[in-house]
Every structure is written in structure tokens, then in C-alpha cells.
Structure 1
């Protein structure tokens, strides 16, 4: 059924390819038994697809990254990950790769240069772009291989990742395992083209169709391609024709698959056919085959015994909380005495530029940020200073660029991603909240990415360019959220955000860009994240605000000089300076929280709850929240003025003082 061409391969190599396929097959057969015994919770079988995982991995260098999927056990075993650790991972033991926090193949390991998937499938394609970009920028001459199924090619991430890789000529092998079904949906209901490889034409990309059940065709083709890509970096789309012989996962079954189709593909089994080829050519004997099988089964049994003997995980609240973020020690850099009066926008530009000078591995990416300098001109002149390798215009693809930032972090680099407007982060929401936020907790991989977020109303920009959507991210463990109101803070906090190895959402209010000026040190300096600023002091009431709302509060206090208030500018929303909040409220006995965002679900609600829970006995009045209307943000100024909480604050403040 399958025609094999040795292509001058030595018998030793031919046998290595066989045992490399045999090992995951025997492991899978054992896992299916354990699944029925209830010793593992779930299993995604790759039986019948071993040739793809093994062939690709064998053709690559061990230092090159591979991003596999559920059915790529052969990637892990071919990279010689100890079976004890794999079994511990599947049993939720501490010596696995995720400390019991995720299952099956949802993990990565820097030790073996493998980056596992998340259930959303698509994001890993863009992550591969980032790893490949790092390789290209550092002249490593390495290839990155990333897997997806034919079902995953329908996701927008697939389009975005291939487009970016093509535009930037990144050395990525995009490997599609076309195995006939996405869970129960056949390919005829997934796409309307003959071959997925044809999609490469639209990206100006080379593509190949490979028999995914022919180990020699896979290995030889990938070996040649990988060597050529190392010399001539470019992306290549590969469609491996294969079939999924078992269910999407074992509970799914295969009743929806016609039996004749199962019978046809059973005859194309990659292991059985290759074994017959080796027998026919005198390369493999019955005795040698039995020896291989016995050795692998012994290895499996011993590793299983070790994993099963390991004690169950003992929950530790401290350990769980400590692993959400990578540990980071803030390093204070004090400013010089030379200052100049600059706008908020200038401070951000200075902070970004000086960070680029300080970190040679920092790359900034975004729409129109290169020669054009960004829509707000924050990166104007950056190309001349740092070159287009480090100041990168991107296609309109927020998701893929966030993922590229994640890939750069995996490869040990830093990135700043500019959302042209904070509203547009919705197009990249999935990788922010599911990849950047969760990676360190899941498998100890930090996401050294800062996402710059020009935000806010007051500039007549309407519903799609005016949101202040910080609450979407303060809710997500693993993300840090910074929101400065002054040029001095913006410059120092941006430097610290870039130094921090964790993902940071950095909000910049557009209405403040050119309206707020302040004396700011001319050289590089840092400010700590999670420390609020006390702008005014008094015993009457505590006012808590951030962003543009800080200036609305200041204007109100300037109008009422008789009000002696503590005015707290939070500056950082995650981490939140609760110590400063509690100390002030316990002193004044009253608290009012002003935010620009609409009321329900905003951060003011959480701050109010925290105050009620921790300062209740010191309160002399209910905690008051002041926020904007529960509508989208309108365009015309009369409606926008009505929407904003700006003009509501004064009346609510006076009412609370009278309580």
C-alpha cells in the first residue's frame, strides 16, 4: 500500500525511525488500558499518525523548537523526554510538567524545546512566528515547526500567522495533519477546496503535500526542507495526508465514520507497512523486533511504576498563588536632577526609546509604528534609531502579533505590542487572557510582553475608539495592569513594565496625551508597579481614581478648597495598592471611587467591596462609586459629555461629605 524510498539512508537510521514510531504506539496501547481502568482522565489518540510526529522531529535539530498538538506523542518521545515525567503529567503528579494544573499535552518544556498547545488551537501558530522571528533576528539559522489539524486551519489565527510569517519571511514549517475529521465534522464540511496546501498560494508561500503515513517520505522531505530553510529563511506550508483511526478523544468514539473508510486507512497503517518494508529488505527480523518491543515495554512498565508510586499532589494555596507570576525583584533606577516639561505622549515616547536603548533584545510591533511613527507619533524616528528589525510594522492582525510576542518571550526576548486603540484588543483577546496570562502558572514559562493600550473617551472618537477596558484584564490572574495619569509616572512605570518579565497591559489615555504637561527627568528611571500616589492629603474623605478621572477629581478639589481630601492616584490596577487604600479610608472614614468606565463590573466595584470587607468598622458612610453611563460610548460631544462620569463626580462627592 505504501511505497518506500530509502534515499541512501543507513540501516541504523531506518531502524531508529521504526523504534521511534513503535515507542509511541506501545505507549498509546498502554494508555488506552489505563484509561479504561480510570488511571488517566482523558486520552487523545495518535494511533495511525506516528509517522508525522516522528519524521518531523527526527529531521529537526534538538535545539530547534517544535509546537505539537494532542496527537503528537511521537514528538515528545522522539525528543527523549523521560517516560516517568510524561506519565506523571498525565496522572496529575507533581513531577509532571504542570504540577497537576493542566492535563495531557497542554504543556511545554524549555529543556526539550517543545511548546505545547492550548485548547484554542490557533494561538500556537502565531507563537511559532515569534520563536522563528527571534531565531532570524539572532542569526541562529534554526527552523521552527508548528502543528495544527485540518480543523484548526479554519481559525483566524491560521490566516494571521501564515500571513505574518510570509510577510516577514520567517523560518517556520506549518504542519497540517489532515486526518479527515475535526471531532465528528468531516473535511467536506470544514473547507471547500481540494487541498489545504493550496491556501499557501494566497500567502505567496511554498507548500507541499506529503503522505503522512509514509515515514520515509516525511523524514526525507522535512530533512531537505529544514536544511534549506536554515540557509534561506522562509515559511513553508505542509499538508500531511493521514487519518484519525480513533475518536477525537476516546469518549467520542468513531461511530460517525463509515466502516469502509476505517478499513481503507487501516491498510495504510504507518507502523505495520514500514515494518513489512524493513522485513522485506532484511533490515528487521522477528527476533530484533521482539527485542525492541520488550525493551520499550519494560521502559513503559518501569516508568509507570515510578509515576504511580509518586504521592498525590498536596494542595498549597501559597504555591498556587506564587506561581501565577514569575518572581521579579524591582530594581529602582533613580532619575537625575535634569528635568524638562513634557507632555504625557512625550514621556511615553522617551520611556519607550530609552528602554530600547537599554534592552538590545527588545522588539516593538504594531500597525503603522515604523516609518509613520504610529497614529499618535509615539514611535516617530524609532526606525532611524533602531532599524526595522526591532521596530516592526505589522499587518492588521492583533491576535497573531500578541502571539508573536509570546514566541519572542519563549525564545528569551522582550517585546512591546502596540494596540492602535485599546478597543482593538478584542481581536487579540484570546492570546492575551489565555496564553500570556496562564503560561507561567501552567508550565513555568513567562510572557515578557507589554501591550500598550491607547484608550479613553473625551476625544469624540465614538464607540470603537474610546473604551477604557481595563476591567477585562484586572479580572484575569496572570496579567498586570498599569494606568498612569501623569507624564512622570508614565515614563517611570513604562520602564518598569518593560523590565518586568510578566505580561503587562499598559493603558495610555488619549485625551491626556497632549493636554497634560509635567517636569520629567530627561534620563532613564523606574517606578515600582503596584504603588499608588497620594496627590492630596486631608481628613474629610478618601478619593480613589486613575487615568483621566484623577484630573477630574483634581479639578473638583481645586473648585472646593474647603474640602480636605486624600486623593489617591492608583497608577497600577494589578497589582493594586490596597495598603494605601486601607490606610487612607481608616483615617478619613469615607471613600468615593471615580472611574471613567461604566459602572457594573468595573474595578471600582471590587475596590468598594475590598473597603467594605477590610475597613467596615472605620466607615462613617457607605462607599460610593461614580462611573459613566451603562451605554456604549457615543460620538458627538453633547452625548459623550452626558455619558462620562466627569460631570457627575462633584455632586456625588458633596452628597457623601454631608452623610
Structure 2
């Protein structure tokens, strides 16, 4: 039988009633008992991996109870209390951890790597940092819609070393976003102690550098966590702004169970063991008469029964049967393309004007669309595509961003989670490397992992031919065409650029939209002045012939057209792919089977480019129709040089004519 004992934590109930005091205890006790059960199951091999939050329950529970149920929380590995306090049915949690279909990821991701819109929880990814910027986006949506809601996001002391942490804090500060950044400082990042992780005394001090109010709370004191976060959340709802909280706590188990804790000094474990948040709070409640030993035992037995029954339900669930069509079908959210035919008379405009016009008309059509990028507001962007947009749509929807590509990609994802649309401009496609991780690991995988859309378009001004050198000239589409979950668009003409951009913004999937800088002001075409769409996955057959199939996209289309105009004796099908993912393989195969020869032209360097995959597809599907080997033509295997004579030597443009003749003469 339990008896009252001394509490090693100083509690102050202030004006909290007995009901709240007891609920806080129940909400901490439940995840503790689940964890104790999990430790047994992992030893039995019934759970593959476990990240224990034992000793940290007060943080998860206190923060979650301080927020309203319709406010988003972005938890981490050790925040089981977030999920249970939000009252997710236990059998679904157990199904998730066992890789069953009734979990939240259909067996595709494990443990706490999931989210659920039903409970306003957004799951983490192993890279940790990106969820901080995603919280910015969710908070931005709340602020734009005047919802008066708070977003809470968790990270560990190790995660504060990542660049995403600093970028997210800076964006939240500049835009005064209603985010509570929660640092669970539990002493170790896997085995790395805090002394090897950061040099400052307190991580809360980092908030000062960004102009953010920051606090240090005792992460093991449930009343301090709940009471103070409750007041802060109420304040933030009235006056939106970011807050940084460092919760001092300790990790009583290994990073995950297989790691163990041998690297932790015994005296440190003993010091924190007496600060256990549940034992101390239970003793406090016993001492003030809110809890009795009998009531405590009753609660424990009820939770254990609930846990056992939920485990039986999850255990009885059939194992997932692998189905290739199901897996492939969930990589992208189904998009019901709606064709809009232009009705207006065309006007002759430049490629860049078509992009601007398409973006403007989409902004008019989608009131929940926000565009973000460096210098895109009053300045109009470095290419002046968004010139005049601020006057029409305002600074809330046309947002200058700090120079932090990663956080802005993440913010765009957060806007999507909150039900809005986002277009982000990479000032140059080369700069996408600074935002690469959230694109390929967050945007691309979210629908497959937990059925969440990434309604984000990333505009990519790209390409050489303008003497911009190695850092402003790349055409890096191959980084993304190989990433399942992304769509890749690469138009060559103003008409296509405008219609495909409209479709990209309508599509709920993430789209990498490439715009060749050398085409911006050099290519003109008659383009309807009103809004219209063009479907993805439909190539354009620009010329028809019998001798050879030319396959290309972007600037390569114009290089091929110039070559054919200088070689009128060449009878060729010229295919402009327009979209690289999805790819119009039907048009490619049909043409190659007719002509018996194929040449693929890309501006990117050869190895690992999309031309290699196209060549392989043709060889695998059209081999018996070929009269010559498939030829690839690409730029040199070097970075892109600056000075004109070197750039001209680099580009595939100068090699295409001879390569074309070589295939024809084979």
C-alpha cells in the first residue's frame, strides 16, 4: 500500500482546483505505465524499437494540457504524453508501433514518426530540425487567418545545434509568429553530453539573440510546466509572438533502448532519480489529500487494463500484406486535374511575363495562397517576376524572407498542413541545396508516410548561358526527378510556362517548377491573357519526322529547334517533355518505335542526369525497334564556368549537331 512521502520538488498549486491537479497526474501516469509495458514488449521482440520518455512526462503533459485541442503540437521521440493527453486510442498507437495497418503510417514509418490531423499532431522526422520551421508555417497560417491559436514545437538540446533551429527562431521572430519553441534539455544527445553539444550556460539564452522572450522551467515540475505555459499561451493568443522555453530535465533511459546508459555517471542518474516527476507529484497529491493510496491503485489498475485490452486489439489485427499497387498509389495525393481552356485573345509576351501573369492570376484565384522568397515583395524579386504584387495582394501574402532557404521550405509545408497553399521562390535554383533536406525528406515523403499533403510549389530559376558562374547557373532537376513524391516541371515556352504553373499551384503535391533564366527575356510567344491550365505528364510534339526522335526540355528545346532549322534535310520528331515527373513515356515510345532512332539532349552534365534514365527506358521498351544506339548529349562534367568562351565550351548546345548527324549516319 502506498503511503505519503516527502516530495523533492517544490509544488505551488496557485489557484488550480483539485480536478485539474488530479487530471495532470492521470495524464502523466498513463504514458508511464504504457512505457513500462513497452520495455517488457521490446525484450520479448514484440516492438522493434523504443525511445523512452520516462522521467520527462511532465513536459509533454503540461504543455499539451496548456494548449487547446485544436492547436497544433509538433512532438519528438519522448513525447508519448502528447499523444495520450490528446486521447488517441491506445490500440491505434500500439498498431502504429507494431507496423499494423490501423496505425497512422500503414507500416511505412515507425514509433513516433507520424502525425494526425484528427488530433492536431504533426509527426517528426529523424532529421529533427525541419519540424521547427513547419511550426512557423502553421503559426503563420493562424496569424493570417486571425485564429488566435498557438503552435507548440519540441526539440532536444541536441537539435538546437542544427541550422534549422536558428533559422526557425529567426523567421518566427521577424514575423512575430505565435510559436512556443520547447527545448527538452535532458542532458544527452544519444551519448553526447551537453558539455560537448553547446558552450553557453543555458540554451534559453539563444532566444535573446533573436529578440525572443525566453524562459527556463523545471521540466520535472508538472505544476510549473502547466501553469506557466498556460499563461504564456493565453498571452500569445492575444499578442502573437514566439517564445522559447528551456525545460531542464533528464533522460533516465538510453537514447533508444538498445543504446543503454553505461556512458552516464551513476551519481548523475541517482541525482535525477529522486526528481522523478510522477513519484514526487504523487507524494504531493497524497500529502494535500487530493489523491489517496486506494485511488492511486485504482487508477493504475484501470490504465493497466486499458493497456492490456488495447494490446490485444492491436495484436489480433492482421499483419500488413505487401501490395505494390497500394504502395505506389500512396506516394502522391490523387489530383483531380481540372482543365481550364483559355477564352481570351492572346498577346505576344516574354517567358518571364507568362510566369508573372500565371502567378498573379493564381494569387487572384486562390485567396489562401501565400508566396515567399528573398526580395520578392517591394523589390519584385531579382528577376522582377513579382513586381507590383505587394500593391495588389499585400505584404501578408507576398512575403520577403530572411536568407534561410531551409526554414522557408518548412514554413511552406506548415502552411499546407494548416490548409493553405504556398509558392516559394528559390532566388536561384543553385540555392536549393540550402533547403534540400526538407524538400526530399519532408515534402516528398509526407503523403506516403501519414497521408498529409504538401501543397507547395518551389520556383527554381535555373540554367546557364547568362555568364553567371558556378553558383547561379545550375540546372539541377536530376536531384529531384529521382525522389518519389516530388513532381518536376520544366517548360520551354511562355504558353506552357503559364498553364503549367497554374496546374502546379492547383496540385496538392509538392512541385519543383524550373524556369530557365536564359529564356526569361529571349523567348516570346502568343499567350492568352486569361487563366488556363495544362495537364502534367503530356509532352508536346513540336515537329514531326521519320528519321529520328529528339527528346529534350527547357533551353534544350530551343537548341534543337535552331539545329533543325540549320539542317532542313533532317526529318525528326522533336519532343518537348514539359514535365519530367510525371513523364510522358507513351509519347516517347510511340515516336521511337516510328523513327527507330533516338537522341536525348539535356543541359545538365551527363552522369546521373535524366537523359540516362530516358535512354534506359527506351532500351528496355523499344530495343527491337532501334536501328542505332540511343545517344545522350549533355554538358561537360565540370562545374559551370563564368567567362563566355568557357561557358560555351561547357554547354551541350555546341555538341548537339554533330551528335545528331552521328546517330543518323549509324
**Which TM-score applies when normalising by structure 1?**
1.00
Using the TM superposition, give the Cα deviation of residue 7 of structure 1 relative to its aligned residue in structure 2, in angstroms: 1.2
Equivalence for 1:253: 260
Displacement of 1:336 after TM fit? 1.4
Counterparts of 1:370 and 1:43 in 2: how far apart (Å)?
46
Gaps of 5+ in 2: 1-7
Confirm or deny that 1:17 pairs with 2:24.
yes
Equivalent residue, structure 2, for 1:94: 101
Instruction: Tell me, yes or no, if the aligned pair for 2:185 and 2:248 is still in contact at 8 Å.
Output: yes
1:413 and 1:258 map into 2 onto residues whose CA distance is: 49
Which residue number corresponds to residue 550 of structure 2? 543
**After superposition, where does 1:485-524 map in structure 2 within 5 Å?**
485-524=492-531
Secondary structure, counterpart of 2:424 in structure 1? strand
User: Equivalences for 1:220-231 in 2 at 5 Å?
Assistant: 220-231=227-238
2:445 equivalent in structure 1: 438
Secondary structure (helix, strand or coil) at the match of 2:140 reads: helix
Cα shift at 1:182: 0.3
- How many residue pairs match? The answer is 659
* Aligned counterpart in structure 1 of residue 172 of structure 2, from 155, 165, 175: 165
Quote the residue 1:526 is aligned against: 533
1:318 match: 325
In the alignment, what sits opposite 2:3? none
Aligned partners of 2:302 and 2:155: how far apart in 1?
32
Determine the C-alpha separation between the residues in 2 that align with 1:577 and 1:410: 30
Match of 1:190 in 2: 197
Query: 1:445 is paired with a residue of what secondary structure?
Result: coil
Answering whether residue 88 of structure 2 is matched by residue 81 of structure 1, we say yes
SS at match of 1:535: strand
CA distance in 1, matches of 2:86, 2:486: 32
Partner in structure 2 of residue 369 of structure 1: 376
Q: Secondary structure at the match of 1:543?
A: strand
- Asked whether 1:385 is paired with 2:392, we answer yes
Compute the displacement of 1:337 (Å).
Answer: 3.8
1-side partners of 2:29 and 2:592: how far apart? 67
SS at match of 1:6: coil
Q: In the alignment, does 2:619 pair up with 1:612?
A: yes
Secondary structure, aligned partner of 2:16: coil
Q: Distance in 2 between matches of 1:179 and 1:330?
A: 49
1:210 aligns to 2:217 (yes or no): yes
Q: Which residue of 1 aligns with 2:71?
A: 64
Q: Partners in 2 of 1:116 and 1:149 — Cα distance?
A: 15
Structure 1 CA distance for aligned equivalents of residues 629 and 409 of structure 2: 41
Q: After superposition, what is the alpha-carbon deviation per residue over 1:234-265, rounded to whole angstroms, capped at 9, x for unaligned? A: 00000000000000000110000000000000
Q: Provide the residue aligned with 1:402 in structure 2.
A: 409
- Per the alignment, residue 648 of structure 1 pairs with 655
User: 2:343 matched to which residue of 1?
Assistant: 336
Note the aligned Cα RMSD (angstroms).
0.4
CA apart distance, 1:340: 0.4
Tell me which of 567, 572, 587 is aligned to 1:580.
587
Residue 431 of structure 2: aligned partner: 424
Runs of 5+ in structure 1 lacking a partner? none
In the alignment, the residues of structure 2 paired with residue 563 and residue 549 of structure 1 have an alpha-carbon distance, to the nearest angstrom, of 17
Equivalents in 2 of 1:426, 1:581: separation in Å?
31
- Residue 150 of structure 1 aligns with which residue? 157
Q: 2:242 aligns with which of 235, 243, 258?
A: 235
Map of 2:128 onto structure 1: 121
Distance between the aligned counterparts of 1:284 and 1:205, measured in 2?
A: 39
Give the TM-score, by structure 2 length: 0.99
Q: Do the aligned residues in 1 keep the contact of 2:599 with 2:631 (CA within 8 Å)?
A: yes
Report the alpha carbon displacement of residue 8 of structure 1 after superposing the two structures with TM: 1.0
Q: Secondary structure at the match of 2:139?
A: helix
1-side partners of 2:333 and 2:299: how far apart? 43
Q: Structure 2 CA distance, aligned partners of 1:12 and 1:649?
A: 78
Report the Cα distance in structure 1 between the residues aligned to 2:15 and 2:471, rounded to whole angstroms. Answer: 60
Distance 1:545 1:249 in 2: 49
Q: Distance in 1 between matches of 2:538 and 2:445?
A: 24
Q: Is the counterpart of residue 309 in structure 1 residue 322 in structure 2? A: no
Report SS of the residue matched to 2:580: strand
Counterpart-to-counterpart distance in 2, 1:442 and 1:344: 37
Matched with 1:631 is 638
* Deviation beyond 2 Å, 4+ runs, structure 1: none
**Secondary structure of the equivalent of 2:515?**
strand
Cα deviation 1:510-564 (Å, max 9, x = unaligned): 0000000000000000000111000000011000000000000000000011111
- Secondary structure at the residue paired with 2:82? helix
The whole-number CA distance in structure 1 between the counterparts of 2:506 and 2:344 is: 23
User: Among 584, 590, 598, which residue is 1:591 paired with?
Assistant: 598
Q: Is residue 181–residue 242 contact of structure 2 (8 Å, CA) maintained in 1? A: yes
Partners of 2:83 and 2:473 lie apart in 1 by 46
Aligned mates of 1:557, 1:330 — CA distance in 2: 34
Q: Deviations over 1:162-205 (max 9, x none)?
A: 00000000000000000000000000000000000001110000
CA–CA separation in structure 1 for the residues paired with 2:630 and 2:207: 58
Please give the alpha-carbon distance, in whole angstroms, between the structure 2 residues aligned to 1:25 and 1:355. 50
Alignment equivalent of 1:134, drawn from 141, 158, 164: 141
Q: Deviations over 1:315-372 (max 9, x none)?
A: 0100000000000111000001411000000000000000000000000000000000
| 1:616 positional shift | 0.6
Cα distance in 1 between the residues matched to 2:611 and 2:345: 37
Shift of 1:57: 0.2
Residue 469 of structure 1 aligns to a residue whose secondary structure is coil
- 562, 565, 568: which is aligned to 1:561? 568
CA drift of 1:395 comes to 0.1
CA distance in 1 between partners of 2:396 and 2:480 (Å): 30
Report deviation, 1:374. 0.2
Give yes or no for contact 2:94–2:311 (8 Å, CA) kept in 1. yes
Q: Is the contact between residue 344 and residue 530 of structure 2 (CA under 8 Å) also seen in structure 1?
A: no
